[in-house]
Amino acid sequence: CTPRLEYLRMFSTPFDNNDYQSSPIPTLTELNICYYRTFDLSKMISFLKNVPNLRHLKITMAFNLINGYQWEQIIRSYLLKLKIFDLNMYDQFSDDQNIEERANELINSFQSSFWINEHNWFVRCFTCDKIIRLETSFIIFYHFEKKLS
């Protein structure tokens, strides 16, 4: 039971627990998740289904890259009141994987009108060696670049 719980910060999540069962937390409006290992995405979705009044989601995760189409579906289906989406996720790839191709696929999945026009959520992608990192930005960087040219 979580009467009046409005803010929750999780450094370890139950998403990799086989016995995990989510329960409604209707008063939760702000959620901060930090998770640094792989987990079952369906369990995270099950949790997010139960926080219908969430307005602010900050999520930092490693070894789980969720593309923009998946996030859009989650937000449209279960997080209708979400106003702030603060995302930071990264993963490391093996030498035989084409990191540039994967990075392009990921960043393109965050380029729909849902991200840019409806919410003004802008996602940047960085690569270094075999690591891809995606994060939201609340500034449109190309405007600054145009002014500098």
Structure tokens at 64: 């789980």
Q: Assess whether pLDDT exceeds 90 at residue 6.
A: yes
Rounded CA-CA distance 134/23 in Å is 30
Residue-wise pLDDT tens digits, 123-149: 999 998 889 999 997 655 554 444 444
Rounded CA-CA distance 77/109 in Å is 17
Tell me the whole-structure pTM to 2 decimals: 0.85
Residue-wise pLDDT tens digits, 17-40: 666 677 899 999 999 999 887 778
Which of 42-51, 86-95, 111-120 ranks highest by mean pLDDT?
Answer: 111-120
Rounded CA-CA distance 128/93 in Å is 11
Domains of the chain by residue range: 7-148
Q: What is the mean pLDDT of residues 50-59?
A: 96
